[in-house]
Chains A and B, each alone.
Chain A
Amino acid sequence: MIRSELIQKITDENPHLYQRDVERIVNTVFEEVTNAMSRGDRVELRGFGAFSVKKREARVGRNPRTGETVQVEEKYVPFFKTGKLLRDRLNGK
């Protein structure tokens, strides 16, 4: 499923909304999640999962092509943990 298919499904269920409105709604939701994480906030969606930000410490890395060592600075990366309900549903429970 891609973004446009998700928009289509929601448009089909809501005949009173224009597709371009559903597009804005879907974009707003994903945008809100990304914005929250870029502020360092978490987004917890019970049953689905939680988006959070994890810190990766600075480390000495290696360029796999040249073998050269490089200093990698600390950075913050997005992280998703699956919710219990969805995890159970994936396993037919």
Chain B
Amino acid sequence: MGEKTLTRMDLSEAVFREMGLSRNESAQLVESMLEHMSDALVKGEQVKISSFGTFSVREKSARVGRNPKTGEEVPIQPRRVLTFRPSHLMKDRVAAGNKS
């Protein structure tokens, strides 16, 4: 298993290699993708990328939580959380690639 960590830089490097755009422009395009996706999610929209996966925003209601260290009860405010559901294709490829 790899255990390497890729960053924005590796993604823009891939765009640079594939398209032959400048490194600077490639980096800006990656950033712009992430921004558009974030903006849609903040508006409460789903972001559905076929053969990759779906990002959706879920509303969580308030509940009483507990500090696991002290056992103390703490109120948890209602909040919005993001979930990612990988596509079947991604699940299959990740499962196949990491087979032991």
Interface residues of A (CB under 8 A from B): 1-3, 6, 9-10, 13-14, 21-22, 24-26, 28-34, 36-49, 53, 74-78, 80, 82, 86-87, 89-91
Contact = CB atoms under 8 A, between A and B. Distances in A.
A38 to B, nearest CB: 3
Contact of B46 (A1, A9, A44, A45): A1
Contact of B5 (A24, A43, A47, A80): A43
Given A24-B18, A91-B79, 20 more contacts: A1-B36, A3-B52, A6-B36, A6-B37, A14-B29, A24-B19, A26-B33, A29-B11, A33-B6, A37-B97, A40-B1, A40-B2, A43-B7, A46-B7, A46-B8, A76-B95, A77-B94, A78-B94, A89-B38, A90-B81
24 contacts: A1-B37, A1-B46, A1-B48, A2-B50, A3-B50, A3-B52, A9-B36, A24-B18, A25-B18, A28-B14, A28-B19, A30-B49, A32-B6, A32-B10, A37-B94, A38-B94, A38-B97, A42-B3, A75-B95, A77-B95, A78-B84, A80-B83, A86-B41, A86-B82
Interface of B: 1-8, 10-11, 14-15, 18-19, 26, 29-30, 32-34, 36-38, 40-42, 45-53, 55, 57, 79-84, 86, 89-91, 93-100
Contacts, number: 157
Q: Looking at A2, A25, A39, which has the most chain B CB atoms within 10 Å of its CB? A: A25
A44 B40 contact: no
B14 A41 contact: no
A32 B96 CA distance: 16
